[in-house]
Homo-oligomer: A and B are copies of this chain.
Amino acid sequence: MATRNDQVSSFETASCPLPLQHKQQIVMGHGSGGKMTQDLIKSVFMPHLASEPLAAANDFAQVALPAGANLNGYLSISTDSHSVAPLFFPGGDIGSLSVCGTVNDICMSGAVPLYLTAAFILEEGLNMQLLEKITLSMQHSAEEAGIQIIAGDTKVVEKGNADGVFINTTGVGWIPSEHRIGGEQAQPGDVVLVSGDLGDHGIAVLGARGDLGFESNIQSDVAPLNRMIQALLKAAPNTHVLRDPTRGGLATALNEIAVQSHTCIRLDEESLPVNPAVRAACEMLGFDPLYVANEGKLIAIVPAKEADAALSAMQQNQYGSHAAIIGKVEASPIDRVLLKTIIGGTRLLDVMAGEMLPRIC
């Protein structure tokens, strides 16, 4: 019997490579919209990302507003395509990044996250176990954030026409009140806070590429920040701006805010939290940690009288233990970010001009 079974199985391998192959790696047929696409959805995506609207298998997800919603609220919507290279890095992977990145963006409005869509562009030949690992990681991040994955899409392109996998996520949240949070709301007199160490994500991805030239145990900070934001807004209900300093880092995000609000943001270099290992790596490579991407940090700009409460709320959250007050908003010179350096000078922190770290998210 054993011999017979062996023969059968070697026969299957020899003359029917496809049925085995397509269980181990992505083939073009997985993107056809037919039976193989359905098999992929059932075997890899549904076990981890299932929700009632997704299981309904219509072209659309039909979903309700949250319980207790009233018509004075707003939707908060954001989209991000993720093309990070490599797909896995210390502290995270493209799966956790794609969920947290969009959760964080929609929550920077003060919204409660509700629904997430996930669209995959897969390269032919992609290892199926690797895809499942990414999917599992998406599940964990979505569960932590309390967001439901309600719609998906799968496309496959020929080997050499995509770099492993690209994931787009689009999120919908609900802003329960008419209180408006946004870059244009910063006001002279406001205090600027950041929730922790700067530049961890960018340097962790660089390390995973082997581009540091030395061993490092720097971890990406990728994390969903919605719970921190809810606590922050309870402590500082008049918060004016929330933003996550991703591509382009803190300096780029603050420049955007200064331009949106026509204010000057003045930072105190001494107060900026940076992990010493990240600082050392940046010095060796000629980078400035203020321009390096974060994926689990937020900038908060709040009225001065709420600054201490905001700081304390951030520090009590698991992702905010290194939160700090880093500067203030002034009336002029407008559209500028200025840095008071440790040696006492003042320098202009401009927008990053071109490419610094590509494929970071």
Residues of A within 8 A of B (CB): 18, 27-29, 31-38, 56-65, 69-71, 74-83, 85, 104-109, 111, 115, 117-121, 150-153, 155-158, 160-163, 166, 168, 170, 172-173, 175, 180, 182-184, 243-244, 246-248, 252, 256, 260, 291, 293, 351-359, 361
Contact = CB atoms under 8 A, between A and B. Distances in A.
A35 B69 contact: no
Given A28-B355, A153-B81, A352-B32, A119 B252 contact: no
* Number of copies of chain A assembled together: 2
Contacts of A34: 247-248, 252, 291, 351-356
Contacts of A59: 78, 104-106, 108-109, 243-244
A355 B348 CA distance: 56
Contact of A353 (B35, B79, B163, B256): B35
Contacts of A244: 59
B157 A359 contact: yes
**Closest A-B pairs by Cβ, 9 of them:** A33-B247, A34-B352, A29-B354, A170-B170, A29-B355, A79-B117, A168-B168, A33-B248, A161-B163
B74 A108 contact: no
Best-buried of A65, A151, A153 by chain B (most CB within 10 Å): A153
By secondary structure, the A interface counts as mixed
A163 to B, nearest CB: 4
Given A65-B75, A244-B59, A36 B161 contact: no
B78 A32 contact: no
Contacts of A358: 28, 31-32, 156-158
A21 to B, nearest CB: 12
Given A35-B352, A64-B74, A70-B71, 8 more contacts: A32-B358, A36-B354, A59-B105, A60-B108, A63-B74, A82-B155, A83-B155, A162-B163
Contacts of A161: 83, 162-163
Contact of A81 (B56, B120, B256): B120
A153 B108 CA distance: 16
29 contacts: A28-B355, A29-B353, A34-B252, A34-B351, A34-B355, A35-B353, A56-B260, A59-B109, A60-B105, A60-B111, A62-B109, A64-B74, A69-B71, A71-B71, A75-B172, A77-B117, A78-B151, A79-B151, A79-B152, A83-B161, A121-B121, A157-B358, A157-B359, A158-B358, A158-B359, A160-B160, A162-B162, A166-B166, A168-B170
